[in-house]
A and B are shown apart, each in its own frame.
Chain A
Amino acid sequence: MTNTRVPRRTGRRHPLMGALLLVIGLFVTGGAYAATSAGIAMAETPPVSQASLIDEGEKLFLANCASCHGLNAEGREAGPSLIGVGALAVDFQVGTGRMPMAASGPQAEAKPVQFTQAQIDALAAFVASLAPGPGMPNPEHYAGDGDAAEGGALFRVNCAMCHNVAGAGGALTEGKYAPHLRDLDPVHIYGAMVTGPQNMPVFNDMNLTPEQKNDVITYLKYLDETPSVGGFTLGSLGPVSEGLFVWLIGLGGLIAVAIWLTARSN
Chain B
Amino acid sequence: MATKPPGNDITSAMPAPEPSPGTAIVSSDTVANPGLPGEHVRVTDLDPKEEKKAERRIALFFSLSIIGSVIAAVSYVIFPIIPGDMASVRANNMFVGLGAAIGLLGVGIGAVHWAKSLMHGHELVEERHPTRGSEETRQTAVEMFTQANKESGFTRRSLVRNTLIGALVATPIPAVALFRDLAPAADPIAKMKETMWAKGVRLTKDPSGVPIKASEVTIGSAFQVIPEGLAELEHHRLEEKAKAAVLLMRLPVEDLVEKPERASWSYQGIVAYSKICTHVGCPVALYEQQTHHLLCPCHQSEFDVSNHCEVIFGPAARPLPQLPITVDAQGYLVAQSDFTEPVGPSFWEREL
Say yes or no for B216: interface residue by CB 8 A criterion: yes
Contact mask B192-236 → A, CB, 8 Å, 1/0? 000000000000011100001100111111111000000000000
A199 touches B221 (CB 8 A): no
B86 touches A199 (CB 8 A): no
CA–CA, A57 to B112, complex, Å?
Answer: 75
Task: Give the chain A neighbours of B293 by CB distance below 8 A.
Answer: 173
Which of chain A's residues has its CB closest to B300's CB?
Answer: A173
B94 to chain A, nearest CB (A): 6
Which stretch in A19-27, A28-36, A108-116, A203-211 binds the other chain? A203-211
A173 touches B223 (CB 8 A): no
Instruction: Classify chain B's interface size.
Output: 35 or more
Within 8 A of B (CB), among A125-174: 153-154, 157-158, 161-162, 170, 172-174
CA–CA, A204 to B288, complex, Å?
Answer: 16
B112 touches A199 (CB 8 A): no
Within 8 A of A (CB), among B235-278: 249
Task: Give the chain A neighbours of B217 by CB distance below 8 A.
Answer: 206-207
CA–CA, A176 to B302, complex, Å?
Answer: 13
Say yes or no for B116: interface residue by CB 8 A criterion: yes
A161 touches B283 (CB 8 A): yes
A157 touches B289 (CB 8 A): no
B295 touches A264 (CB 8 A): no
CA–CA, A221 to B205, complex, Å?
Answer: 24
Task: Give the chain B neighbours of A178 by CB distance below 8 A.
Answer: 286
B86 touches A229 (CB 8 A): yes
Say yes or no for B52: interface residue by CB 8 A criterion: no
A231 touches B94 (CB 8 A): yes
A173 touches B302 (CB 8 A): yes
B43 touches A206 (CB 8 A): no
Say yes or no for A198: interface residue by CB 8 A criterion: yes
A161 touches B297 (CB 8 A): yes
Task: Give the chain A neighbours of B285 by CB distance below 8 A.
Answer: 161
CA–CA, A265 to B115, complex, Å?
Answer: 9
Task: Give the chain B neighbours of A6 by CB distance below 8 A.
Answer: none
B132 to chain A, nearest CB (A): 32
CA–CA, A110 to B111, complex, Å?
Answer: 55
Say yes or no for B89: interface residue by CB 8 A criterion: yes
Which of A202, A226, A260 gathers the greatest number of chain B CB atoms within 10 Å?
A: A202
B206 to chain A, nearest CB (A): 5
A215 to chain B, nearest CB (A): 12
Task: Give the chain A neighbours of B224 by CB distance below 8 A.
Answer: 157-158
Say yes or no for A228: interface residue by CB 8 A criterion: yes
A173 touches B288 (CB 8 A): yes
Say yes or no for B90: interface residue by CB 8 A criterion: yes
Task: Give the chain A neighbours of B291 by CB distance below 8 A.
Answer: 173-174, 199
The listed residue (A176, A206, A230, A260) touching B216 by CB distance below 8 A is A206
Say yes or no for A252: interface residue by CB 8 A criterion: no
Say yes or no for A201: interface residue by CB 8 A criterion: yes
Which of chain A's residues has its CB closest to B43's CB?
Answer: A266
Q: A170-B297, A196-B289 are in contact. Are A264 and B116 (CB under 8 A)?
A: yes
CA–CA, A231 to B94, complex, Å?
Answer: 8
Q: A173-B295, A206-B213, A265-B44 are in contact. Are A196 and B89 (CB under 8 A)?
A: no
Task: Give the chain A neighbours of B221 by CB distance below 8 A.
Answer: 196, 201-204, 207
Which of chain A's residues has its CB closest to B289's CB?
Answer: A201
CA–CA, A178 to B86, complex, Å?
Answer: 28
A201 touches B222 (CB 8 A): yes
Task: Give the chain B neighbours of A51 by CB distance below 8 A.
Answer: none
Task: Give the chain B neighbours of A174 by CB distance below 8 A.
Answer: 291
B83 to chain A, nearest CB (A): 13
B218 touches A265 (CB 8 A): no
Q: A161-B297, A172-B288 are in contact. Are A202 and B117 (CB under 8 A)?
A: no
CA–CA, A174 to B297, complex, Å?
Answer: 14
Contact mask A12-48 → B, CB, 8 Å, 1/0? 0000000000000000000000000000000000000
Within 8 A of B (CB), among A97-133: none
A199 touches B290 (CB 8 A): yes
B43 touches A202 (CB 8 A): no
Q: A157-B206, A204-B216 are in contact. Are A198 and B290 (CB under 8 A)?
A: yes
CA–CA, A66 to B290, complex, Å?
Answer: 22
Which of B87, B205, B219 gathers the greatest number of chain A CB atoms within 10 Å?
A: B205
B287 touches A201 (CB 8 A): yes
Say yes or no for B40: interface residue by CB 8 A criterion: yes
CA–CA, A203 to B217, complex, Å?
Answer: 9
B213 touches A199 (CB 8 A): no
The listed residue (B42, B220, B302) touching A196 by CB distance below 8 A is B220
CA–CA, A257 to B347, complex, Å?
Answer: 46
B233 to chain A, nearest CB (A): 17
Known: A161-B297, A172-B288, A202-B221. 8 other contacts (CB 8 A): A157-B224, A170-B286, A202-B220, A207-B216, A229-B90, A229-B93, A264-B40, A265-B44
Q: List 10 A-B contacts (CB under 8 A).
A: A173-B302, A198-B290, A201-B249, A201-B289, A203-B222, A206-B216, A207-B221, A230-B90, A264-B42, A265-B121
Q: B residues touching A (Cβ–Cβ < 8 Å)? A: 40, 42-44, 86-87, 89-90, 93-94, 112, 116-117, 121, 205-207, 212-213, 216-224, 249, 283, 285-291, 293, 295, 297, 300, 302, 313
Closest 10 CB pairs of A and B: A201-B222, A206-B216, A199-B288, A265-B116, A202-B220, A161-B285, A265-B117, A201-B289, A202-B221, A229-B86
Q: A residues touching B (Cβ–Cβ < 8 Å)? A: 153-154, 157-158, 161-162, 170, 172-174, 176, 178, 196, 198-204, 206-207, 226-231, 260-261, 264-266
